């Protein structure tokens, strides 16, 4: 597996090490060689010169004292120096005194002394030095062959080559060993990197070997893999989310390499355009299904996007499955030169949304049509209860214009007393977004107050937020009235039932108590009569029998009264207009006929009529006038009056007398059955009359009451309502137990 | 060891006395005197000879214009033994008794004594010329030199010893 292009790193490292070593060695060798060449030569020459001068010095005494043998000995010592080819010694006259030649065949000396100096001649080096000891005694000539130097250099080069070769080999071995410590971690890193690259496996980790830069690099590499792995997981999640988002939102994505005319679509984009997945996306494929009317628009949008950097356009696609509404959005990226080279974006299928919008519009229209023609009053309001719509029915009901009604304007028609209630209920419901229903009175165009029931349902926006109410109002006045009537009827019936119970109670009481008193009288006198009869006293029988007869008569009267009372309670009322004045006059006439001796002044208001059952009203007047007649007994003059006066309870008829009157503290008891305020001995009576009066009046829906003082007369008032003889508005509150 | 035939012959006209004179002058170049031997750094190096010594004429020629370092060479005649005190070098020619007297006067003093007489070194002299034609050889009395506080250069010593007694 070749990880690095071309030569692997380990070879490179070896090459590097070897190149460095060899270059260093060669440089050193050349430097030393050059040094040798230039400086060793100088050293050699200096050495030769020095040697010459020493020899010259040593030979000074030989010359000074003409000792040629000694001179010869001195110069012959130079034979030890291999570079020296020959030496010659000249005296102060320039004559050669002694010489020495390594090879006499090739060596010739000048006959006379040459001048001092150093000369290079034919590859030979000539050194000419003076021989002196405070005085010049002669000249020494030394000839040397510096070619010996070349041999030395050659040997030197040979040594150098061997050294270089050996050093290079050692360096190679050393590099091989050392590089393992470098290349192995690098190799491990490279293999891990390759694994990441080729297999996308981010789980591999490299073992750290040493705490050097490679160790740091390994740590960094592992750390980088950790992060990449984390990022990849996050990326996968993110991609998943994006894919889900795109899928659920019906969004396709596309990528258009403009310079290479290459377009890439994702699967959903293919699906949106109705193109088989994977098919090459050409211009033809793109434009094929776009609605012909939209082609120009889309083209213009894309062209504009090329200069502005982005575009968004909407068009229709004609697919086999039907017409689709599409939104195309793109971002145009420019290259360095500023020319668009790539565009990326999304394709969104908004058909469902568009259809839903159309449905909403249609629904709205339908609502308008229905609402405008509906018989109900229809309105809508915003969340703050300000109304923004009234149908025609509403406007024609209130007789106002839409402009007048808008907002809170409609409240002008809301009955003043009901406004607060309406506000309370509507506000409370709006606070809870609850539907509500409220009844109120609304002023109709003709000014009539009509009872309306308003029913409102909350309107919610798509996001569920409350945006107001849609409400209807229905005129319920008739129903309301019927309800009131029904209620009154129920109350009346209830009252009648209560009365019936009272009567039953009274009847029971009468039977058990009051009816028993004449029975006791009859029983008592019957025993007396029996005793008298047994004793044979016939003449004294009349008295108890008379009493018995009287009591029986009284019982009969009581029973008759009970029957009358019962009849009154049960009798059907046949209402008609009756003349109360006339009836009163007749009754007083009858009373006068019964007791012609009594002088009674009767004043009568004529022409007083009322709606009622004549037979029962006659019973009322019989009782009241009869009472007046009865209780004025002994008055001189007795006065009885019948008339009508206004009262709190409407026009009231009255019967007034100046008779015995009554203690007003007991006025409540007046109308109870068999309650008598006066002793029977004082005034005759059964105690049933006033109760009968009250019952009749109550059945007529009227009221009866009395005013009076003891011994100062009494006045009985009663009312007879005009509107309903049988079902009157309110039953008398005076219905006491 | 002579390789190239005979070296040029020394001049035949050269007399023994002139060789001796040249040798005396040359010897001064190979001997070192203590500084106390001179009155100053430029004081001349004085060579004394007896008045009737045959070398005198040659010696006067030989010292003419010669210098040893900073010092000029000067040849004087010894008229009494007292004159010895001015000398640095004495060339003694004469009887053995005369020579012994002089050597006795200069013993222990830094005065170089030269002679060609036999037994000179044994008398305490420093340098003896030994004429062995065609050359004149040198004999050096090294212990005597040391006793006089003089030093001879190695070249001179080698020459003097190399020739042997």
pLDDT score recorded for residue B135: 82
In this structure, are residues A140 and A5 in contact, taking their beta carbons and an 8 Å threshold? no
* Spatial distance between the Cα atoms of A154 and A158, rounded to a whole number of angstroms: 6
Q: Which residues of A, range 131-150, sit inside 8 Å of B by Cβ?
A: 133-135
Tell me the longest C-alpha to C-alpha distance in chain B.
Answer: 52
- Reported for A98-103, long-range contacts at CB under 8 A and 24+ positions apart, including other chains, are A98/A59, A98/A62, A98/A68, A98/A71, A98/A72, A98/B7, A99/A75, A99/B3, A99/B4, A100/A72, A100/A75, A100/A76, A100/B1, A100/B3, A101/B3, A101/B4
Q: At A502, phi and psi to the nearest 5?
A: -60, -45
In this structure, are residues B75 and B59 in contact, taking their beta carbons and an 8 Å threshold? yes
Q: Cβ contacts (< 8 Å) between B31 and chain A: which residues?
A: none
The verdict on a CB contact (< 8 Å) between B26 and A64 is: yes
Best to test chain B binding among A66, A90, A92, A109 (most B CBs inside 10 Å): A66
The verdict on a CB contact (< 8 Å) between A72 and B159 is: no
Q: Which of A67, A96, A135 sits opposite B135 (nearest CB)?
A: A67
The verdict on a CB contact (< 8 Å) between B155 and A57 is: yes
Q: Is the peptide bond before A146 cis (omega within 30 degrees of 0)?
A: no
Best to test chain A binding among B26, B45, B134, B139 (most A CBs inside 10 Å): B26
pLDDT score recorded for residue A283: 84
List the Cα angle B142/B143/B147 in 5-degree steps.
120
Q: Which of A57, A67, A134 sits opposite B69 (nearest CB)?
A: A134
List the Cα angle A70/A71/A75 in 5-degree steps.
115
The verdict on a CB contact (< 8 Å) between B1 and A57 is: no
Strands (E), A113-242: 117-121, 124-132, 136-145
pLDDT score recorded for residue A5: 52
- A675 Cβ contact partners less than 8 Å away, ≥ 6 residues apart: A669, A687
- A74 Cβ contact partners less than 8 Å away, ≥ 6 residues apart: A55, A58, A59, A62, A89
Name the residue among A658, A645, A652 with its Cα closest to residue A697: A652
Q: Which of A59, A61, A95 sits opposite B30 (nearest CB)?
A: A61
The verdict on a CB contact (< 8 Å) between B155 and A58 is: yes
Q: Which of A61, A72, A104 sits opposite B155 (nearest CB)?
A: A61
In this structure, are residues B108 and B129 in contact, taking their beta carbons and an 8 Å threshold? no
Name the residue among A708, A734, A574, A709 with its Cα closest to residue A719: A734
Residue A440 Cα distances to A423, A432, A436, A454, B131, angstroms: 11, 21, 13, 8, 181
* Spatial distance between the Cα atoms of A694 and A719, rounded to a whole number of angstroms: 11
Distance from CA of A163 to the nearest CA of B (A): 46
Answer whether residue B162 shows pLDDT above 50. Answer: no
The verdict on a CB contact (< 8 Å) between B3 and A66 is: no
The verdict on a CB contact (< 8 Å) between B4 and A72 is: no
In chain B, % helix, strand, coil (3-state, to 5) comes to: 35, 25, 40
- Reported for B158-164, long-range contacts at CB under 8 A and 24+ positions apart, including other chains, are B158/A61, B158/A70, B159/A61, B159/A62, B159/A65, B159/A67, B159/A70, B160/B127, B162/A67, B162/A69, B162/A70, B162/A73, B163/A67, B163/B130, B163/B137, B163/B138, B163/B139
The verdict on a CB contact (< 8 Å) between B7 and A58 is: no
Question: A556: how many CB neighbours lie within 10 A of its CB?
Answer: 11
Map residue B4 onto helix, strand or coil. coil
- A656 dihedral zone (left: phi>0; alpha: psi -120 to 50; beta): beta
Q: Which of A60, A100, A109 sits opposite B155 (nearest CB)?
A: A60
For chain A, how big is the Rg over CA atoms in Å? 75
pLDDT score recorded for residue B2: 38
Q: Cβ contacts (< 8 Å) between B136 and chain A: which residues?
A: 65-66
pLDDT score recorded for residue A195: 83
Residue range B10-53, pLDDT digits in tens:
444 568 888 899 999 999 999 999 988 898 888 999 999 988 88
Map residue A536 onto helix, strand or coil. coil
**Chain centre to alpha carbon of residue B45:** 12
* Spatial distance between the Cα atoms of A483 and A491, rounded to a whole number of angstroms: 12
* Spatial distance between the Cα atoms of A207 and B94, rounded to a whole number of angstroms: 111
The pLDDT > 70 percentage for chain B reads 88
pLDDT score recorded for residue A734: 37
DSSP structure class, residue B69: T
Best to test chain A binding among B1, B15, B134 (most A CBs inside 10 Å): B1
Q: Cβ contacts (< 8 Å) between A58 and chain B: which residues?
A: 155
Distance from CA of A31 to the nearest CA of B (A): 44
Strands (E), A231-365: 251-257, 262-265, 310-319, 322-334, 340-349
Residue range B65-74, pLDDT digits in tens:
888 888 999 9
- A307 Cβ contact partners less than 8 Å away, ≥ 6 residues apart: none
Q: Cβ contacts (< 8 Å) between A130 and chain B: which residues?
A: none
Tell me the longest C-alpha to C-alpha distance in chain A.
Answer: 245
List the Cα angle A411/A413/A417 in 5-degree steps.
80
Torsion sign (Cα): B104, B106, B109, B112: negative
Distance from CA of B9 to the nearest CA of A (A): 9
* Angle between helical axes of B56-63 and B16-28 (0-180°, round to 10): 40
pLDDT score recorded for residue A446: 92
Which chain B residue shows the shortest CA-CA distance from A109?
A: B4
pLDDT score recorded for residue A4: 44
In this structure, are residues B3 and A99 in contact, taking their beta carbons and an 8 Å threshold? yes
Map residue A275 onto helix, strand or coil. coil
* Spatial distance between the Cα atoms of A424 and A419, rounded to a whole number of angstroms: 9
Map residue A280 onto helix, strand or coil. coil
Strand partners, A88: A99, A141
Torsion sign (Cα): A69, A70, A74, A77: positive
User: ipTM beyond 0.85?
Assistant: no
- By residue count, chain A amounts to 737
- Which segments of A379-443 does DSSP mark as H helices, in order? 392-398, 402-405, 416-432
Question: A577: how many CB neighbours lie within 10 A of its CB?
Answer: 10
Q: Which of B8, B30, B137 sits opposite A96 (nearest CB)?
A: B8
* Angle between helical axes of A68-76 and A41-58 (0-180°, round to 10): 160
**Chain centre to alpha carbon of residue A689:** 80
* Spatial distance between the Cα atoms of A104 and A100, rounded to a whole number of angstroms: 8
Distance from CA of B26 to the nearest CA of A (A): 6
The verdict on a CB contact (< 8 Å) between B159 and A76 is: no
* Spatial distance between the Cα atoms of A236 and A252, rounded to a whole number of angstroms: 19
pLDDT score recorded for residue A687: 62
Q: Does A101 touch chain B (CB under 8 A)?
A: yes
Q: Cβ contacts (< 8 Å) between B156 and chain A: which residues?
A: 61
The verdict on a CB contact (< 8 Å) between A61 and B2 is: no
Best to test chain B binding among A105, A132, A134 (most B CBs inside 10 Å): A134
- B46 dihedral zone (left: phi>0; alpha: psi -120 to 50; beta): beta
* Spatial distance between the Cα atoms of A206 and A224, rounded to a whole number of angstroms: 11
pLDDT score recorded for residue A580: 93
pLDDT along chain A (737 residues), means of 10: 57 80 81 78 84 90 86 88 88 88 85 86 84 89 79 79 84 80 79 82 79 83 86 86 79 88 88 87 87 91 89 90 89 85 89 86 85 87 91 91 91 92 92 92 92 92 88 90 89 85 70 70 88 86 87 81 71 82 91 84 91 85 88 87 91 91 75 55 58 82 86 89 53 37
- A687 Cβ contact partners less than 8 Å away, ≥ 6 residues apart: A514, A673, A674, A675, A676
Q: Which of A66, A72, A98 sits opposite B135 (nearest CB)?
A: A66
Q: Cβ contacts (< 8 Å) between A106 and chain B: which residues?
A: none
**Chain centre to alpha carbon of residue A294:** 38
pTM for the model: 0.39
pLDDT score recorded for residue A82: 81
Distance from CA of A142 to the nearest CA of B (A): 16
The verdict on a CB contact (< 8 Å) between B159 and A62 is: yes
């Amino acid at each position: 597996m070749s990880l690095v292009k071309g030569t692997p790193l380990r070879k490179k490292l070896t090459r590097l090490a070897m190149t460095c070593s060899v270059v260093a060695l060669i440089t050193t060798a050349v430097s030393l060689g050059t040094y040798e060449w230039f400086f060793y030569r100088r050293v050699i020459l200096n050495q030769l010169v020095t040697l010459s001068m020493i020899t010259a010095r040593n030979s000074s005494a030989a010359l000074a004292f003409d000792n040629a043998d000694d001179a010869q000995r001195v110069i012959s010592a130079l034979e030890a120096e291999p570079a020296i080819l020959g030496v010659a010694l000249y005296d102060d006259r320039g004559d050669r005194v002694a010489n020495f030649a390594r090879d006499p065949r090739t060596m010739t000396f000048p006959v006379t002394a040459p001048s001092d100096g150093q000369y290079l001649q034919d590859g030979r080096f000539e050194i000419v030095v003076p021989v002196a000891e405070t005085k010049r005694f002669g000249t020494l000539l030394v000839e040397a062959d510096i070619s010996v130097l070349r041999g030395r250099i050659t040997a030197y080069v040979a040594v150098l080559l061997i050294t270089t070769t050996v050093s290079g080999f050692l360096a190679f071995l050393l590099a091989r060993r050392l590089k393992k410590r470098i290349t192995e971690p690098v190799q491990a890193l490279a293999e891990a990197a390759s694994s990441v690259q080729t297999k996308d496996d981010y789980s591999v980790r490299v073992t750290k070997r040493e705490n050097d830069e490679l160790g740091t690099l390994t740590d960094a590499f592992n750390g980088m893999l950790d992060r990449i792995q984390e990022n990849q997981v996050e990326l996968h999640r993110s991609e998943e989310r994006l894919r889900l988002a795109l899928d659920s939102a019906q969004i396709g994505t596309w990528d258009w390499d403009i310079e290479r005319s290459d377009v890439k679509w994702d699967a959903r984009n293919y699906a949106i355009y109705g193109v088989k997945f994977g098919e090459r996306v050409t211009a033809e494929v793109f434009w094929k299904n776009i609605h012909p009317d939209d082609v120009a628009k889309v083209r213009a949008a894309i062209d504009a996007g090329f200069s502005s950097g982005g575009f968004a356009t909407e068009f229709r696609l004609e697919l086999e499955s039907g017409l689709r509404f599409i939104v195309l959005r793109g971002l145009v990226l420019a290259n360095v030169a500023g020319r668009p080279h790539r565009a990326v974006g999304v394709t969104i299928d908004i058909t469902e949304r568009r259809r839903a919008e159309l449905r909403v519009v249609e629904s709205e229209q339908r609502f308008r049509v229905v609402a405008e023609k509906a018989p109900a009053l229809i309105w809508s309001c915003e969340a703050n209860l300000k109304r923004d719509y009234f149908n025609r029915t509403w406007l024609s009901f209130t007789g106002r214009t839409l402009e007048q009604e808008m907002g809170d304007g409609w409240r002008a028609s809301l009955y003043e007393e009901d406004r607060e209630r309406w506000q309370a209920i509507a506000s409370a419901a709006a606070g809870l977004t609850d539907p509500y229903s409220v009844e109120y009175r609304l002023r109709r165009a003709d000014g009539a107050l009509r009872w309306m029931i308003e029913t409102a349902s909350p309107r919610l926006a798509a996001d569920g937020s409350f945006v107001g109410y849609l409400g209807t109002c229905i005129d319920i006045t008739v129903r309301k009235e019927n309800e009131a009537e029904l209620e009154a009827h129920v109350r009346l019936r209830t009252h009648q039932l209560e009365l019936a119970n009272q009567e039953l109670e009274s009847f029971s009481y009468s039977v058990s108590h009051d009816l028993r008193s004449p029975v006791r009288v009859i029983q008592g006198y019957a025993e007396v009569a029996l005793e008298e009869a047994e004793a044979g006293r016939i003449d004294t029988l009349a008295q108890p029998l008379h009493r018995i007869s009287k009591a029986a008569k009284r019982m009969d009267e009581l029973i008759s009264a009970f029957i009358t009372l019962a009849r009154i309670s049960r009798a059907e009322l046949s209402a008609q207009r009756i003349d109360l004045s006339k009836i009163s006059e007749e009754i007083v006439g009858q009373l006068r006929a019964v007791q012609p001796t009594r002088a009674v002044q009767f004043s009568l208001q004529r022409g007083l009529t009322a709606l009622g059952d004549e037979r029962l009203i006659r019973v009322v007047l019989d009782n009241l006038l009869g009472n007046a007649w009865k209780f004025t007994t002994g008055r001189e003059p007795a006065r009885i009056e019948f008339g009508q006066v206004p009262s709190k309870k409407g026009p009231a008829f009255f019967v007034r007398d100046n008779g015995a009157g009554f203690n007003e503290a007991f006025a409540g008891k007046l109308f109870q059955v068999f309650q008598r305020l006066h002793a029977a001995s004082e005034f005759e009576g059964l105690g049933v009359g006033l109760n009968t009066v009250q019952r009749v009046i109550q059945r007529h829906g009227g009221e009866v009451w009395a005013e009076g003082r003891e011994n100062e007369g009494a006045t009985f008032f009663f009312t007879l309502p005009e509107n309903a003889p049988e079902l009157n508005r309110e039953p008398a509150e005076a219905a006491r137990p | 060891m002579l390789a190239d035939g005979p070296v040029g012959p020394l001049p035949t006209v050269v007399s023994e006395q002139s060789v001796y004179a040249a040798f005396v002058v040359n010897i001064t170049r190979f001997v070192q005197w203590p500084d106390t031997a001179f009155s100053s750094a430029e004081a001349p190096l004085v060579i004394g000879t007896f008045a009737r010594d045959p070398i005198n004429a040659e010696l006067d020629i030989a010292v003419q214009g010669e210098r040893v370092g900073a010092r000029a060479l000067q040849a004087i005649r010894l008229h009494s033994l007292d004159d010895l005190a001015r000398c640095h070098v004495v060339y003694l020619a004469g009887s053995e008794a005369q020579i012994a007297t002089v050597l006795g006067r200069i013993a222990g003093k830094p005065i170089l004594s030269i002679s060609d007489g036999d037994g000179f070194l044994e008398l305490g002299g420093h340098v003896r010329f030994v004429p062995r034609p065609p050359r004149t050889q040198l004999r050096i009395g090294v212990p005597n030199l040391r006793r006089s506080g003089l030093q001879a250069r190695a070249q001179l010593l080698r020459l003097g010893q190399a020739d042997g007694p």
